[in-house]
Amino acid sequence: MAKSSKKTAPLAPEDIALFHEAVGSVEPVSNACVVVDDAPPKPSRRKAIPERLSDYIDQHLSDGFALEEPIEHGETLSYLRPDSPPPLLRKLRRGQFSVAASLDLHGMSIDEARNSIARFFLEQRRDVRCCVRIVHGKGNRSIGQVPVLKRMVNHWLPQRDDVIAFCSAPPHDGGTGAIYVLLRKS
């Protein structure tokens, strides 16, 4: 063992007595079984650290009461961040932004969809794309035709800092089974 270069003050006899009282009787261990390995430990494998704290938060969005929110089959969605101008949502609804990329969530579980959205938005921010399409489906194949992923997407996106607005896509681009999302540039 390497000796420390720091000099420590000697312990007072009452401190030594207090230590022995707290520890009790002990037996010395022989050094015959001690193996000293001077090789540094191998680095442990860590989970990938998100580029920013907001990326970590995005991947852990609250599900809250999303499945209890009353979204019906065929209902249109829309959202505008409170600090954004209303004409932005009108332009998005009219298709005045070109859709740069698309993500299809069909057949995914809730957790898979949440993670896919987080990865997808991270890629879009890197490429500085501002308008994307997410296909969440209409829930036609769900039990009771309840649009589960549609409800979850409607619940998650307002929680994200990079989402300015979203609305249901026009019929030629997925209708009520897809949304256009306007992203804030990074």
**Predicted pLDDT of residue 64:** 58
- How many angstroms from the chain centroid is the CA of residue 41? 31
Structure tokens at 136: 């969440």
What is the spatial distance between Cα 69 and Cα 75, in angstroms, rounded to a whole number?
Answer: 12
Residues comprising the chain, all counted: 186
pTM reported for the whole predicted model? 0.63
Nearest 5 degrees, angle CA 116-CA 120-CA 125?
150
Instruction: Give every CB contact of residue 87 below 8 A, 6+ residues apart in sequence.
Output: none
Looking at residue 68, its pLDDT comes to: 52
Rounded CA separation 19/24 (Å): 8
Q: Which two tokens stand for residue 178?
A: 């897809």
Q: How many angstroms separate the CA atoms of 46 and 43, rounded?
A: 9
Topology of the domain covering 53-62+75-183: Ribosomal Protein S8; Chain: A, domain 1 (3.30.1370)
* Side chain identity at residue 66, one-letter code: A
Residue with tokens 């969809």: 113
pLDDT block averages, 10 residues each, the chain of length 186 = 64 86 79 68 56 50 54 80 94 92 92 92 82 89 78 92 94 93 86
